[in-house]
Amino acid sequence: MAGWIAGGLLVFFLLYGVLLYNGLVGLKHGVARAWANIDVLLRQRHDELPKLVEVCRQYQQFEQATLERVISARAGVAAARASQDIPALGVAEGELRAGLGRLFAVAEAYPELRASEHFMQLQTRISGLENTIADRRELYNEAVNLNNVRVEQFPDLIVARTCGFELKPLLEFSATEKTDVDLRALFTS
């Protein structure tokens, strides 16, 4: 009788372990899927930015430093995205958003640029991508949070440590990106 009980308990714990493992695998793939969604949007925006910069360059007097800032920030986002360095991506995203904010603010001083249909389409497209990226960041961070909670909870942590499941980094932003935009500084600097 004791053998049956021991065998039953062994089967129960084995099945329970399999359920925990499968749940952790699902969460890991949820994080990967959320990252892939962000990655697609970052690539789309990455492809649109050179078009926007080129339209702005056509206006000879347009502020070159602003364009260079956007180009540099774009390269930083691309590098962080390619290496999947989430903390670096958060910093690079902050720099890119600040550069785009400056570019759009400076564009206000060029009525012929604002009247350009191509510029307006690109501005609308990039702004739409920014909003979608923000939504996807929220979904990514939720997937990461679910993963991290399960990886640290008992008894899941036993399976997680045994099978190599890891904590994933949240996509966080710098303090400057979280503060309100200083529009006066954008127009005067």
Q: What is the pLDDT of residues 136-145, one digit of tens each?
A: 999 999 999 9
Give the pLDDT mean for 109-130: 87
Structural domains in the chain, sorted by start? 2-188 (1.20.1440.20)
Helix residue ranges, H only, the chain: 2-57, 64-83, 86-107, 111-114, 117-152, 156-163, 175-178, 183-188
Q: Give the DSSP letter of residue 181.
A: P
Which of 59, 57, 34, 53 is CA-nearest to residue 126?
53
Indicate if the pLDDT at residue 188 is higher than 60: no
- CB-based contacts of 104, cutoff 8 Å, min separation 6: 123
Give the pLDDT mean for 100-129: 86
Q: Give the DSSP letter of residue 59.
A: S
> What is the C-alpha to C-alpha distance for residues 1 and 11, in angstroms, rounded to an integer?
15
Q: What is the pLDDT of residues 158-187, one digit of tens each?
A: 999 999 999 999 988 765 544 444 444 444
> What is the C-alpha to C-alpha distance for residues 113 and 124, in angstroms, rounded to an integer?
14
